[in-house]
Chain A
Amino acid sequence: MNEQSHVEFKGENMKTPIYMDYQATTPMDPRVVEVMMPYFGAKYGNPHSRSHSFGWEAEEAVEAARAQVASLIGASPKEIIFTSGATESNNLALKGAAMFYRDKGKDHIITSVTEHKCVLDTCRHLEQEEGFKVTYLPVQENGLISLDALKDAITDRTVLVSIMAVHNEIGVIQPLAEIGRICRENKIFFHTDAAQGAGKIPLDVNEMNIDLMSISGHKIYGPMGIGALFVRRKPRVRLRPLINGGGQERGMRSGTLSPPLCVGLGEACAIAEAEMASDNERIRLLAKRFHTAINDRLPEVILNGDDEHRFWGNINLSFAYVEGESLMMGIRDLAVSSGSACTSASLEPSYVLRSLGVEEEMAHTSIRFGIGRFTTEAEIDYAVEHIVKAVEKLRAMSPLWEMAQEGIDIKSIEWADH
């Protein structure tokens, strides 16, 4: 059990720590848990069993879930492959397409420097082990790729472009429809990692000319351990499977499906589809409340990433002259994550923020605040109080803040390396 305690705030009884790490994972929606339960108990059939009602019942549930996933993104159920999660989906999309089309003279992939590690690492693997060439597009200061740079990178050997939909660290939304159009014009497949995008922003695979799309269950209030890959049928995308076996999932992903997980993902998608507009409106209002209050009370706080093309459930802020990890210690009542990788052993500032051109010292001061379906207004107000108090305290003890107040440009000082 998660160790939560209760505090009184503005007359309300609130559970702390307050969960603001929705990009790491979302809590399961209780409605999702409810529909999953029978498949852990009485409904235990193998969906691939064809000779009895146990199997038929499970198959029916899995196929209904497949249709729910498809509906969320405007696809046909036949185009949905269940996987273990977005990491597997991204691996299957990239390696699967790359390896299938390699014999046809296609050995070039285009992606961006700010993709999730599982895309970047897969690309590195294809470069180092399989001889592919990969172009890593830079991003602009606002976190978006340049469409001209994309056009320039395309060659007649390009097989695939992989650009994520909504960014996990800074929340920016890439121009998917424009990327899709460019890819279609050049007869190149377009894959998007929509782990943070599906269910959060309207996505239509046909309108946006998306050929492959990765989806994760636990980022949309569904279960961990399941995801999906959309694989377009017209024009058809062929993939070489990563996992061989009984030929399930149209031969692209063998292995027995888990009906409770499939049903959970399906329900999560159905709820997201039905409630996206109202969820987003709520989240946007909470985000504005949060961001405005912080800005009103604290000078020199920077929002990382484009302020228009973004999903507001992800707010990545740099608090100048305050180090991110000490700030996280100061707001221990909030479950957040540092934009910089300080929590890991590397102690390096985030490669994403560095790619945006954020100065290293500012990249060290960043924290990502996630707002989601279950965030309340009282929680936002409580978070603001805590953040303001902690930042003021840390600035009061920051030599850099002191210098800035004295008008000393910290860049004019010769700092020693260590």
Chain B
Amino acid sequence: MAYSDKLIEHYENPLNIGSFEKDDDGVGTGLVGAPACGDVMKLQIKVNPEGIIEDAKFKTFGCGSAIASSSLVTEWVKGKSLDEAGEIKNTDIAEELALPPVKIHCSVLAEDAIKAAISDYKEKSAAIAKGEAAE
């Protein structure tokens, strides 16, 4: 399969590999996919008190396109507000990496991963706010 140079660059030198402590207050974690399907993405965002994504990290089990998609989106979400990050579309990812048709699901998974991380962060901060209000 012929891959674009951008995709290969992201696969060979992926950006933002790693993990944050998932119990930290400012961290949102999204875990999507399934081992049996051949793709699992864990995407984490670190959000500052102003609601801006300061940093992002990922770990991905999957094909080269899945790894490249994760690497790309972690780079894209940095500096964005939660709402802005939530607007990233899989088609943008697929276009940027010139994903072949059979690999479009990798970009869908990356979009799902951001959304899952954002919603995890929101649930967590809502729970914290509730806890503080109760005190």
Stretch binding the partner chain, chosen from B26-34, B45-53, B87-95 = B26-34
Q: Which chain A residues numbered 288 to 327 have a C-beta less than 8 Å away from chain B?
A: 321-323, 325-326
Q: Which chain B residues numbered 1 to 59 have a C-beta less than 8 Å away from chain A?
A: 1, 3, 8, 11, 14, 17, 19, 31-42, 58-59
B61:A321 contact, CB within 8 angstroms: yes
Q: What string of 1s and 0s marks CB contacts (under 8 Å) between A9-46 and chain B?
A: 00000000000000000000000000000000000000
A326:B102 contact, CB within 8 angstroms: no
A397:B17 contact, CB within 8 angstroms: yes
B105:A325 contact, CB within 8 angstroms: no
A402:B64 contact, CB within 8 angstroms: no
Q: B60 contacts the other chain (Cβ, under 8 Å)?
A: yes
A325:B63 contact, CB within 8 angstroms: yes
Q: What string of 1s and 0s marks CB contacts (under 8 Å) between A326-361 and chain B?
A: 100100000000001011010101000000000111
B residues in contact with A347, CB < 8 Å: 38, 102
Q: How many interface residues does B have (CB within 8 Å)?
A: 33
A residues in contact with B67, CB < 8 Å: 326, 397
Query: Given B14, B31, B38, which contacts A342 in the complex, CB threshold below 8 Å?
Result: B38
B residues in contact with A410, CB < 8 Å: 35
Task: Give the complex CA separation of A399 and B102 in angstroms.
Answer: 23
A418:B38 contact, CB within 8 angstroms: no
Chain A, interface size category, equals 20 to 34
B102:A398 contact, CB within 8 angstroms: no
B14:A397 contact, CB within 8 angstroms: yes
Residue of B nearest to A360 (CB): B36
Query: Given B37, B41, B59, which contacts A402 in the complex, CB threshold below 8 Å?
Result: B59
Q: Do A399 and B42 contact each other (CB < 8 Å), given the known contacts A323-B62, A326-B66?
A: yes
Q: Do A400 and B63 contact each other (CB < 8 Å), given the known contacts A415-B34, A415-B35?
A: no
B residues in contact with A400, CB < 8 Å: 35, 40, 61
From residue B17, how far is it (CB to closest CB) to chain A in Å? 5
B35:A361 contact, CB within 8 angstroms: yes
Q: Do A361 and B62 contact each other (CB < 8 Å), given the known contacts A345-B102, A397-B14, A402-B19?
A: no
Query: Given A322, A343, A397, A418, which contacts B37 in the complex, CB threshold below 8 Å?
Result: A418
Residue of B nearest to A364 (CB): B38
Q: What string of 1s and 0s marks CB contacts (under 8 Å) between B58-86 and chain A?
A: 11111110110000000000000000000
Q: Do A398 and B61 contact each other (CB < 8 Å), given the known contacts A326-B66, A343-B1, A347-B102?
A: yes
B residues in contact with A396, CB < 8 Å: 17
A residues in contact with B31, CB < 8 Å: 399
Q: B118 contacts the other chain (Cβ, under 8 Å)?
A: no
Q: B99 contacts the other chain (Cβ, under 8 Å)?
A: no
Residue of A nearest to B67 (CB): A326
Q: A103 contacts the other chain (Cβ, under 8 Å)?
A: no
A residues in contact with B109, CB < 8 Å: 418
Query: Given A326, A359, A416, A418, which contacts B63 in the complex, CB threshold below 8 Å?
Result: A326
B61:A415 contact, CB within 8 angstroms: no
Task: Give the complex CA separation of A396 and B85 in angstroms.
Answer: 26
A418:B105 contact, CB within 8 angstroms: yes
From residue A317, how far is it (CB to closest CB) to chain B in Å? 17
Q: Which chain A residues numbered 225 to 278 have a C-beta less than 8 Å away from chain B?
A: none
Residue of A nearest to B35 (CB): A361
Could you tell me which A residues sit within 8 Å of B by CB distance?
321-323, 325-326, 329, 340, 342-343, 345, 347, 349, 359-361, 364, 396-402, 410, 415-418
Please name the 7 residue pairs, one residue from A and one from B, whose CB atoms are nearest each other, closest first. Answer: A415-B34, A361-B35, A360-B36, A399-B42, A325-B63, A399-B59, A364-B38
Q: Pick 11 A–B contacts, CB within 8 A, sort by A.
A: A326-B11, A326-B64, A360-B35, A361-B38, A398-B40, A398-B61, A400-B61, A415-B35, A417-B37, A418-B32, A418-B34
